[in-house]
Amino acid sequence: MNIKSISLENVLPKVFLEDGERTSGTASDIWNTSMRFEAGKCYCINAASGTGKTSLCSFLMGVRTDYTGRISFDTTDIATLGINDWCELRRTSLAYLPQELDIFDELTALDNVLLKNRLTDFHTEGEIRSMFEALEIDNRISRPAGKLSVGQKQRVALIRALCQPFSFILLDEPVSHLDARNNELCANMVTDAAAAQQAGVIFTSVGNPLTVNVPFISLAL
Amino acid sequence: MIWKLLRRNISIWQIAGYAAATFIGLSIVLIALQFYRDVSAGLHNDDNDAGGLGLISKRNIVISKPVGLKSSLSGTAPSFSDGEIADLARQEWSGAVMPFQAADFKVWAGVDFGGRGMSTALFFESVPDSIVDVDPELWKFNPSAPEIPIIISKDYLTLYNFGFASSGNMPMLSEGMIGSVPLTITISGAGNTTTLPGRIVGFSSWLNTVAVPQAFMDWAHERFGEPSVAQPSRLVIEVTDPANPEIDEYLSRHDYEVAGPDNDLGRLSFFLTLLTTVIAGIGALITLLSLGILVLSLYLLIQKNHKSISGLLLLGYKPGAIAGRYMRLVISVNASVLLFASIVVPVVQSLWAPALTSLSMTAASVWPTICAGAAIMVVISTLNSLTIRRLVHGCFRA
Q: DSSP per residue over A78-135, as a string?
A: GGG--HHHHHHHHHHTEEEE-TTTT--TTSBHHHHHHHHHHHH--S-HHHHHHHHHHT
In this structure, chain A runs to a length of 221
Instruction: Choose, out of A102, A107, A108, A169, the residue to mutate when testing the contact with B (most B CBs < 10 Å).
Output: A102
pLDDT for the residue A92: 94
For the segment A138-195, what is each residue's pLDDT rounded down to a tens digit? 999 999 999 999 999 999 999 999 999 999 999 999 999 999 999 999 999 999 999 9
* B7 has a chain A CB within 8 A of its CB: no
- Give the chain A residue whose CA is nearest to the CA of B2: A115
* B197 has a chain A CB within 8 A of its CB: no
Give the closest of B4, B313, B316 to A106, CB-based: B4
Instruction: Assign B391 to helix, strand or coil.
Output: helix
End-to-end Cα distance, chain A:
28
Give the closest of A58, A65, A114 to B1, CB-based: A114
> How confident is the prediction along chain A (221 residues), in pLDDT tens digits per residue?
789 999 999 999 998 887 765 554 457 899 999 999 999 999 999 888 888 888 999 999 999 999 999 999 999 999 999 999 999 999 999 999 999 999 999 999 999 999 999 999 999 999 999 999 999 999 999 999 999 999 999 999 999 999 999 999 999 999 999 999 999 999 999 999 999 999 999 999 988 889 998 899 999 88
The residue ranges of every structural domain in chain B are 2-44+267-394, 60-256
Closest CA–CA distance from residue B392 to any residue of chain A (Å) = 11
Question: Are the beta carbons of B34 and A151 closer than 8 angstroms?
Answer: no
- Give contacts of B318 with chain A, Cβ < 8 Å: 83-84, 87
Closest CA–CA distance from residue A75 to any residue of chain B (Å) = 22
DSSP letter for each residue of B6-58 = HTTT--HHHHHHHHHHHHHHHHHHHHHHHHHHHHHHHHT-GGG-SSTT--B-T
Q: Determine how β-strand B210-212 pairs with β-strand B148-153.
A: antiparallel
DSSP letter for each residue of B360-383 = T--PPPSHHHHHHHHHHHHHHHHH
Q: Please report the ipTM that was assigned to this predicted complex.
A: 0.92
Question: Are the beta carbons of A67 and A12 closer than 8 angstroms?
Answer: yes
Test A107 with B4 for CB contact under 8 angstroms: yes
pLDDT for the residue A153: 95
Test A115 with B2 for CB contact under 8 angstroms: yes
> Could you report the average pLDDT of every consecutive run of 10 residues in chain B (398 residues)?
87 91 93 86 51 43 78 72 83 80 83 74 81 75 83 82 80 78 84 85 78 85 74 79 76 79 62 86 91 89 92 94 94 95 93 82 87 94 94 89
Test A107 with B1 for CB contact under 8 angstroms: yes
Q: How many CB pairs below 8 A link A and B?
A: 58
Closest CA–CA distance from residue A87 to any residue of chain B (Å) = 4
Give the closest of B311, B318, B397 to A104, CB-based: B311
Question: Are the beta carbons of A138 and A158 closer than 8 angstroms?
Answer: no
pLDDT for the residue A25: 45
pLDDT for the residue A35: 94
pLDDT for the residue B42: 65
pLDDT for the residue B76: 66
- Give contacts of A65 with chain B, Cβ < 8 Å: 397
Is the CATH number of domain A5-104+166-220 3.30.310.50?
no
- Rounded alpha-carbon distances, angstroms, from residue A134 to A156, A160, A189, B15: 11, 14, 8, 45
Q: How far is CA B319 from the centre of its chain?
A: 52
- Give the chain A residue whose CA is nearest to the CA of B7: A106
Test A90 with B316 for CB contact under 8 angstroms: yes
Distance CA A58, CA B372 (A): 48
pLDDT for the residue B46: 45
Strand-pair partners of A67: A13
Closest CA–CA distance from residue B327 to any residue of chain A (Å) = 19
- Give contacts of B316 with chain A, Cβ < 8 Å: 87-88, 90-91, 116, 119-120, 164
Distance CA A91, CA A76 (A): 18
